[in-house]
Structure 1
Amino acid sequence: MFESCCSTHESAHLLRARYGLPVEMFADRPLITIGAAIEALTLPEPLARQVRLRVSWVPSAPAIADPRDRRWTFLVAPPLPYHAVPQRLRRFLQDHGVTIPARGSRILLPTSDEPSGWHWAGEPEPGRLCLPHRAVLLAAVRLAILQGPDRVPA
């Protein structure tokens, strides 16, 4: 995907044009800021793979992997009207290594197809940005945790 890009600015332009992501540049790196349009869930890689299988029916569940594939960050649409994730659920998720970045947090975006850098673990659908609802991903995460690592959906 990024083979034609010669700079991070070209990568940012490609991410905006291809996926409709609200990309910003900070310290010469493309990123998105968590807010009214986009939220995120960050999971340990083994759990993220289980969740990915559970939401395979969702047309676009974009996920960004860190350079060593230890954690994946799923991009999700916040609920309308907005409401925060209940504290009890937040604690349950944190106990299993799941974090929900706060509004204003910055998420680095891929600039290369190489797994040695930030890369797509699940690429978004090209076109207008269409993210899965936060509730869909949270339900998949809860199920994956409760059913354990050896259970994958049929």
Structure 2
Amino acid sequence: MPSLGSVEPERIQGVVMFERCHSAHEVAYVYRGLGFAVSCFYGRVSLTATPTLGAVAMPAGLGAQVRAHLEEESRWVAIPILSYPRAQREWVFLVGPAWGGKLGEHTIAQLEERGVRILESGQRVWLPMTDHPTGWYWVSQPLNAKTMPSRTSVIAVARQFIASSELAAAWR
């Protein structure tokens, strides 16, 4: 029997996270058990972005680079990311609070040019309701509502990859 320590946490959780859920309220109960303040609207489960729990959306390709970099740092046990199976899909990172100063207009414009969006307080984030990637699904499931990278970390890594791709394009 293989050691569970060698299996990624999301693989273990992904098998049973919603297996026994038959309604949005049961799915919401699972998320609340992880510490998320979720709501049910129109038969769907969502959370509302706040200053302490937010989301950063970006193209899937950039998101994969950001995730790999954050995993290499090995500070993060879990990097909660959700997505939707469609062309031009985004990865939505659930993030903790930002630290440091407010982002400048130039930085926000640079991020938006590359398809990076920062969900502000009050904006809704629809959460997966099944373990199957037929709608919104977890690319990487959360362990709880406290263990996630800060918004600042995710944005800083995204900016690093954006800058390196712009530099590479300038040399072509």
Give the TM interval when normalised to the shorter protein.
0.7 to 0.9
Number of aligned positions between the proteins: 147
Equivalent position of 2:63 in the other structure: 48
Equivalent position of 1:16 in the other structure: 32
Question: How far apart, CA to CA, are the structure 1 residues paired with 2:104 and 2:28?
Answer: 34
Q: Which of 129, 132, 146 lines up with 2:163 in the alignment?
A: 146
Identical aligned residues as a percent: 33
Per-residue deviation, residues 26-59 of structure 1 (Å, max 9, x unmatched): 2221101011221110001111111110111222
Output the aligned Cα RMSD. Answer: 2.1
Equivalent position of 1:29 in the other structure: 44
Shift of 1:80: 5.4
Equivalent position of 1:93 in the other structure: 111
Q: Which runs of 4+ in 1 moved over 3 A?
A: none
Equivalent position of 2:134 in the other structure: 116
Shift of 1:114: 1.2
Shift of 1:136: 0.9
Listed as ranges, the gaps of 5+ residues in structure 1 are none
Question: Does the CA-based 8 Å contact 1:63-1:120 persist in structure 2?
Answer: yes
Q: Which has the higher helix share?
A: 2
Question: Does the CA-based 8 Å contact 1:68-1:115 persist in structure 2?
Answer: no
TM-score by length of 2: 0.78
Q: Which of 150, 153, 157 lines up with 1:136 in the alignment?
A: 153
Cα distance 1:84–1:27, how it changes in 2: closer, same or farther (>3 A)?
Answer: farther
Question: Does the CA-based 8 Å contact 2:96-2:146 persist in structure 1?
Answer: no
TM-score by length of 1: 0.86
Equivalent position of 2:8 in the other structure: none
Shift of 1:108: 0.2
Question: Does the CA-based 8 Å contact 1:5-1:11 persist in structure 2?
Answer: yes
Q: Structure 2 counterpart of 1:95, which letter?
A: E
